[in-house]
């Protein structure tokens, strides 16, 4: 009976959506009263690029099975902006310069965005976008502790 359960569990994990695999709880912290606090990571972007930028962020809340995709957050040159808070230690950033230069801050994790924005939508993390969306390569990031996580846009 145990073996049947293990096989059954393996099949359900293999069929899990892509987004489910991205959820990683933020490290726990002790609350002031001695209990466990629900940890959060505040996603922040600082722009040191010499250009104004628009930023998109995607993440999966722990226990959820879909990405939350949000954009476009204006982050002027020389400024820092707090975007969102999440209980997931894994998340993704993408940014476009707004000066017409074509400068992008991107990585290797493909997710859909919507132009011109603002936008907020849920997805399963697939690379098939709706007709009004475009695929972009996000920078994967991971927090090692709760609190602020800063992504810096360099020139």
Per residue in 62-85, pLDDT (tens digit) is 888 999 999 999 999 999 999 999
Q: If you ran DSSP here, which 8-state letter would residue 65 be given?
A: S
Computed over its alpha carbons, how large is the radius of gyration of the chain? 18
Q: Whole-number mean pLDDT of the chain?
A: 83
Number of domains composing the chain: 1
Q: How confident is the model at residue 1 (pLDDT cuts 50, 70, 90)?
A: very low
Q: How confident is the model at residue 23 (pLDDT cuts 50, 70, 90)?
A: low
Mean pLDDT calculated for residue range 5-13 = 32
- Quick: pLDDT tens for 24-67: 555 554 443 444 556 899 999 999 999 999 999 999 988 889 99
Structural domain boundaries, residue 126: 2-153
Long-range pairs for 74-80 at CB < 8 Å and ≥24 separation?
Answer: 74/98, 75/45, 75/46, 75/47, 75/153, 76/47, 76/52, 77/47, 77/48, 77/49, 77/50, 77/51, 77/52, 77/53, 78/47, 78/48, 79/46, 79/47, 80/44, 80/45, 80/46, 80/47, 80/150
């Amino acid at each position: 009976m145990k073996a049947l359960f293990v096989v059954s569990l393996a099949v359900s994990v293999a069929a899990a959506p892509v987004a489910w695999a991205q959820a990683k709880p933020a490290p726990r912290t002790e609350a002031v009263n001695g209990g466990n606090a629900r940890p959060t990571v505040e996603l922040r972007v600082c722009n040191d690029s010499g250009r104004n930028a628009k930023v998109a962020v995607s993440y999966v809340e722990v226990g959820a099975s879909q990405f939350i995709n949000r954009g476009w957050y204006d982050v002027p040159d020389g400024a820092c902006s707090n975007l969102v808070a999440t209980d997931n230690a894994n998340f993704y950033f993408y940014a476009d310069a707004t000066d017409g230069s074509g400068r992008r801050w991107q990585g290797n994790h493909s997710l859909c965005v919507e132009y011109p924005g603002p936008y907020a939508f849920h997805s399963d993390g697939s690379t098939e976008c709706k007709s009004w969306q475009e695929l972009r390569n996000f920078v994967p990031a991971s927090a090692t502790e709760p609190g602020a996580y800063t992504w810096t846009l360099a020139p």
